[in-house]
Structure 1
Amino acid sequence: MKHYPVIQLHQVSKVYRNGTVALKDLNLVVPEAQFVSLVGASGCGKSTVLRLIAGLGSVSSGTIDWGIDAAQRKLAFVFQDAALMPWATVKDNVQLPLKLGGMSSQYSQGLVAQALKVVGLEKFAHNYPRELSGGMKMRVSIARALVTQPNILLMDEPFGALDEITRSKLNSDLVDLWLQHRWTVVFVTHNIYEAVYLSNRVLVMGTSPGRIVADIDIDVPFPRGEDFRTSSVYNEYCRTVSEHLAAAMRFSDMVGF
């Protein structure tokens, strides 16, 4: 079943005040309910793309168009760091965006409880961040994003600082959540294996300036379990992404970046 485009970037360029060209003529279309990952070397502009989509910066040229109007568009952003308030409980951290939005505490309690249940932390609502593991802190960060009931989820390397076992578990949990809610997701990562496991599409970015050099469909049905992670199909997709990434890096070296 085909879905309408939700996010469309047309010939988007981003030049910073110091003259750095972060992105050049980048085109990207993300359909409704698709999970898209951006992979690339540090400095290729992955996070810049995410921030521009989120409205946390302005394009230097080009356009960002939306397939849904502003009233229906609900974006949530999960950053690299959980960025929790250490003096506040898990519940209060998750409630923060609702509080900032002016929602009454009486109404928000149910939404907070639901978000914590979704990420499996309902029993930790009254704990403080110092009492949580790294993986649990990131779950709180995800709950804080989900409490606003988004339909578009932007994630900037949310699992990059975690050990591989925790990361693998959260990858599986994220796929399960996406299958339940069918958000439109743009996910930034350095990890090829993570990108292939999670995504409908993996976009490989080249550097200096940032641009998309490969768009790879991961044509494997969901749900995906451990059998997929150990399959030859998975390994072949990872190899394909890796080859495109290596080619992009060789090109940057050839032109002197």
Structure 2
Amino acid sequence: MSNHTAITLSHISKVYANGTVALQDLNLSIPEAQFVSLVGASGCGKSTVLRLIAGLGKVSSGNIDWGIPQAARKLAFVFQDAALMPWATVRENIRLPLKLVGVPKQDAQNLVQQALALVGLTNFADSYPRQLSGGMKMRVSIARALVTQPNILLMDEPFGALDEITRSKLNSDLLDLWQKYHWTVVFVTHNIYEAVYLSNRVLVMGTNPGRVVADIAIDVPYPRDEEFRTSVLYNEYCRKVSRCLAEAIN
């Protein structure tokens, strides 16, 4: 893992027009190639943090500083809902972000093929969303993000609607890809077990207003597997995050 900082959020506050204070004095530093998860109760500002990093909203006060030069910075966002175009094939759904920025069709098709292979959907390139399971639709959504070849991946509860078996499989697949490509990942989840399994660090957020109240390092080497998921150490980390979350809510 790099010692260089990718993203620094300093004294970030976000107040909406109706007066709602979503975030107040939030501080966060994320090194390059680190996998960081944000956990917290609904309404604590987790998704707001992602949107501010992505430039989908403006901070009310504070600063977001980048350790990666703008010319080299490539962000991708995976949302909670796969939000696929029902009339388009898997291939065309994945190609969409390239089409929007004018990548030539032949170049785009090569990138799409690579993205399909990464998520294991090569044989479903010409299928339509209605023909896919929930897990496969989310794979398409992830491929649509990866086709842009990002170095920063923002993920907002991408597996929240999936059954546990599918979710567990996609967690492992995501970790395999992260270890191969060394993205900087900021991952929002309500699931403590998922956060501990995936992350270098789990950040617990408090509410009213949203802020980071605990920063827990998961000091376990990768790759991680089912043996880790059933270990005493894994359960200890899950209990620690759970205690911090309970304190943040009370």
TM, length-normalised to structure 2? 0.99
In structure 2, the residue matched to 1:228 is 228
Report deviation, 1:66.
0.2
2-structure distance, mates of 1:106, 1:224: 37
- Corresponding residue for 1:98? 98
Question: Residue 178 of structure 1 corresponds to which residue in structure 2?
Answer: 178
Q: Is the 8 A contact 1:3 1:33 kept in 2?
A: no
Q: Which residue number corresponds to residue 243 of structure 1?
A: 243
Shift of 1:2: 4.8
User: In the TM superposition, what is the alpha-carbon distance from 1:194 to its structure 2 partner?
Assistant: 0.2
- d(CA) in 1 for partners of 2:199, 2:168: 14
Deviations 1:123-150 (A, max 9, x none): 0000000000000000000000000000
- The residue that corresponds to 2:16 in the other structure is 16
Aligned to 1:7: 7
SS of match in other structure, 1:221: coil
Asked if the contact 2:90/2:128 (under 8 Å) is kept, the reply is: yes
Map of 1:131-142 to 2, 5 A cutoff? Answer: 131-142=131-142
TM-score where L is the length of structure 1: 0.97
RMSD: 0.6
* Runs of 4+ with deviation above 4 angstroms: none
Matches within 5 A, 1:122-161: 122-161=122-161
SS of 1:114 mapped into structure 2: helix
> Which residue of structure 2 lines up, in the alignment, with residue 73 of structure 1?
73
Label 1:76 to 1:2 Cα distance change in 2 as closer, same or farther (>3 A): closer
What does the per-residue CA deviation read over 1:46-92, in whole Å, with 9 as the maximum and x for residues that have no partner?
Answer: 00000000000000000000001110000000000000000000000
Q: What do the CA deviations read for 1:77-123 (whole angstroms, capped 9, x no partner)? A: 00000000000000000000000010111111100000000000000
Q: How far apart in 1 are the matches of 2:57 and 2:100?
A: 21
Q: CA–CA distance in 2 between the matches of 1:40 and 1:230?
A: 23
**Once the two structures are superposed, what CA deviation does each residue of 1:21-48 show, in whole Å capped at 9, x if it has no partner?**
0000000000000000000000000000
Q: Could you tell me the percent identity over the aligned residues?
A: 78
Segments of structure 2 that go 5 or more residues without pairing to the other structure are none
SS at match of 1:8: strand
The one-letter code sitting in structure 1 at the alignment partner of 2:7 is I
Count of equivalent residues: 250
Mind listing any 5+ residue stretches in structure 1 that lack a counterpart?
251-257
Instruction: Give the conservation status (yes or no) of the 8 Å contact 2:13–2:23.
Output: yes
